[in-house]
Chains A and B, each alone.
Chain A
Amino acid sequence: MQKTKEHHAIQGEFKNHFLKLKLLLGIWTGKTLITITRLLGRGGTTLPGRLALKIAPHIPSCLSGLLPEGCLIVTGTNGKTTTSALITGILKEAGYSCVHNQSGSNMSWGVVSALIAAASWRGHIFEDFAVLEVDEGAFPQVAQNVKPRGIIITNIFRDQLDRYGEVDQIRDNIIKGMDLQPEYGFEVLNADDPSLVSIEKRSGKKRLSYGLEFNPGADTFKNTGRDIKTCPLCSAKLDYKRIFYAHLGHYHCPDCGYKRQEPDVKLTECITNPDNTANLQIALPGEAIKTNFPLMGTYNLYNLLAAVTCAKALNISGTDITAALEKSIPSFGRMELFKLNSKTIVIALIKNPVGANEVLRTILNEADRISLLITINDKIADGTDVSWLWDVDFEQLSAARDKLTGITVSGLRAWDMAVRFKYSGFDPAQIRVEENAARAVERAIEDTPNGGKLFILPTYTAMLEIRRILNKKGLGKPYWEE
């Protein structure tokens, strides 16, 4: 008997050593590959993580376990990157250090790459928090691995159907991930999204919600993807008192009485200034804060509220929150600005109908004439099915065609986009098709009037390519140096 026990102990210790060795081997491989890919001018957010996970699948759980303040996961269809950047900004203002996958590489391997990049060669992590934006599909897996202290869910819209399946499936997946959170955790939900707040809260968990409370203008966009039209409880058609965009708003069900609950954190006032910043008033439990917020668009107001609510759950002071918000800059490829002599280049990622419509809305609000480049790829990270282009309201753009000094389409599916423009009412002769991205960027810059703006609307992998092209022209820094 005695011998067997000893034997087991030795075996256990041996196993521990073996696991530790595998962990280090995984981290070393990952770190080496990150260095090499960056030397080659790439971000190193996919391959290193993938390979490291193959060697040591327990890397994410081990590394995240070393963070004294734990992990925060931001998931949902739109707004993950900006929300997690805002949370990171607030945490840093409050004196914490953070690991953050800021480039938007949000599959399980992207998360692992970020953790490995932050870890030392001896397998330690010295940051306080990890703020991880996580793809809805990868969410359950990542939640299981990193045991998140906080889960922040932005919204659910129709997104790449080839990868996620239908909207109902995305919601099921999110619920699966939420169930894997430890009981001491907290969750932050968008009260204006009827499909989210209807998710049952598990006992013991802390839940905070947020929503808009000011009076929005009328929505002129058609087919803005009101994907959740029916009551999540009884399937009757929902009525709305206010709609902010898509299906986000103040809803109630005429049949079963299900309705929006008053959120814990509310945006009560929003006044837009001529410089596109907004003066905001936010009501939190027990305090009210005022801030001047520099990011354009209603969707960014939701991102801001999600971040503020998360900060509130972590007991961060209103002063730190306000200070951080006023410093916020657009995230990676989200209305990101570059200056080229007198011209301004704006990169705005598009990846699904609702997000793309919000980008078009912002473009149409520009006072001056602009040049436009749309780059559509169909790789895995973009979504291999380009049907969604037909659900975007490009008709709004063709109705305002005098505003455009030039239109170029590019990318692997450039011709699909050209056809889309033709059927939205453009004269095909107005559309320049240039499949090569570098040449397309050059031509689109030529089309831009001096002192004017060029809007580049790429899908995800096209955005990485276009950023590299701009970096080569001396514009901006590669994202891993930011």
Chain B
Amino acid sequence: MAKIRICHLYPAHLNLYGDRGNMLALCRRAQWHNIDLEVTPIEPGESINFAQCDLLFMGGGQDSDQKLVAADLKKRQAELHKAVEEGMAIFAVCGSYQLLGHYYTASSGEKISGLEIVDLYTEAGPKRLIGNAVVKCSLWDPPRTLVGFENHAGKTYLGPSLQPLGEVLIGYGNNGTDKKEGAVYKNVIGTYLHGSLLPKNPWLTDKILEKALSYRNQVFKPARLDDSIEQIAHDSVIKLATSKRHKKLSSRV
């Protein structure tokens, strides 16, 4: 039986926007695909055994929690780098996504240095980018859509050779200007989208499981699942995001 070991980073601190939903989606779908899943919660100060980790999950956090996490992970930066280069999977949302890059400049001017795993940096903008979002994601051929909700003050810019997770169809994405959302590097996926993201985009959940398996040379043998409810929920967000009501909502916040 295929097996994935997930390290859930700081579940008590990084759990801002329904990140529990992302964990739940990974657990349920692994179970439905007959993958044995082992989840290890990591608390601040506890060390990760990278030899025993196939997928690192990092959720969103308040600014105060974010700093705590950054300081803690900085100590393990070299090991983390090595694991990423070898293909360890990471799924990071919102605040944690920013943390993967070079630095984050807060609105106060304070510069928090990042983990430098992927080539991106983030600067706080004057207004929060909030609303439903739809992106076209090229992890599949033909591309598939991802739907989520974004709420971030940071504007993230990717380095020239870094691939985004998707192209923004509706919403702001990384910075509201270049139509890029999230980032993909090796088996690392970072994104601003929550909502929760994974339950309404089951194909992305499966893709992350696949990446985690491939790191340890295991093959993903998907079971045939009925995703019709997820699909309708997905489509109804696209319908909402393209409606007049959504335009009114986003102009008000």
A419 pairs with B200, CB closer than 8 A: yes
Nearest residue (CB) in A for B68 is A235
What's the Cα separation between A423 and B230 when bound, in Å?
10
What's the Cα separation between A321 and B171 when bound, in Å?
52
- With an 8 A cutoff between CB atoms, is B105 at the interface? no
A385 pairs with B149, CB closer than 8 A: yes
What's the Cα separation between A387 and B128 when bound, in Å?
17
What's the Cα separation between A299 and B25 when bound, in Å?
31
**Chain A proximity mask over B51-87: 1 for CB below 8 Å, otherwise 0:** 0000000000011100010000000000000000000
Sort A-B residue pairs by CB-CB distance and give the 5 closest, nearest first: A390-B21, A387-B18, A390-B18, A415-B233, A166-B62
**Chain A proximity mask over B17-43: 1 for CB below 8 Å, otherwise 0:** 111110011001000000000000000
- With an 8 A cutoff between CB atoms, is B242 at the interface? no
Q: A385-B130, A415-B236 are in contact. List 15 more A-B contacts (CB 8 A).
A: A161-B151, A165-B128, A168-B62, A229-B12, A235-B68, A384-B131, A384-B149, A384-B249, A384-B253, A385-B17, A385-B195, A386-B149, A391-B21, A419-B200, A422-B229
Q: Which residues of A contact B21 (CB under 8 A)?
A: 387, 389-391, 420, 423
Q: Mind listing 8 A-B residue pairs with CB under 8 Å? A: A162-B149, A166-B62, A223-B15, A235-B64, A378-B240, A380-B249, A390-B196, A416-B200
Q: Which of B127-180 contact A (CB under 8 A)?
A: 128, 130-132, 149, 151
A167 pairs with B62, CB closer than 8 A: yes
A385 pairs with B20, CB closer than 8 A: no
What's the Cα separation between A391 and B68 when bound, in Å?
22
Q: Which residue of A166, A226, A420 contacts B63 across the interface (Cβ within 8 Å)?
A: A166
- With an 8 A cutoff between CB atoms, is B2 at the interface? no
Q: Which residues of B contact A422 (CB under 8 A)?
A: 229-230
Smallest beta-carbon distance A256→chain B, Å = 16
Nearest residue (CB) in B for A387 is B18
- With an 8 A cutoff between CB atoms, is A90 at the interface? no
Q: Which residue of B13, B17, B199 contacts A419 across the interface (Cβ within 8 Å)?
A: B199
Q: Which residues of A contact B16 (CB under 8 A)?
A: 161, 166
What's the Cα separation between A413 and B147 when bound, in Å?
14
B12 pairs with A387, CB closer than 8 A: no
Nearest residue (CB) in B for A393 is B20
What's the Cα separation between A387 and B198 when bound, in Å?
11
Interface size for A (C-beta < 8 A) is 34
B233 pairs with A161, CB closer than 8 A: no
Nearest residue (CB) in B for A163 is B253
**Chain B proximity mask over A93-110: 1 for CB below 8 Å, otherwise 0:** 000000000000000000
- With an 8 A cutoff between CB atoms, is B252 at the interface? yes
| A390-B229 CB under 8 A given contacts A167-B62, A168-B63 | no
Smallest beta-carbon distance A386→chain B, Å = 7
- With an 8 A cutoff between CB atoms, is A41 at the interface? no
| A226-B12 CB under 8 A given contacts A385-B149, A389-B18 | yes
Q: Which residues of A contact B20 (CB under 8 A)?
A: 223, 390-391
Q: Which residues of B contact A384 (CB under 8 A)?
A: 130-132, 149, 249, 253
A162 pairs with B130, CB closer than 8 A: yes
Q: Which residues of A contact B63 (CB under 8 A)?
A: 166, 168
Smallest beta-carbon distance A377→chain B, Å = 11
Smallest beta-carbon distance B202→chain A, Å = 9
B199 pairs with A418, CB closer than 8 A: no
- With an 8 A cutoff between CB atoms, is A68 at the interface? no
Q: Which residues of B contact A258 (CB under 8 A)?
A: none
What's the Cα separation between A342 and B135 when bound, in Å?
50
A391 pairs with B18, CB closer than 8 A: yes
A415 pairs with B232, CB closer than 8 A: yes
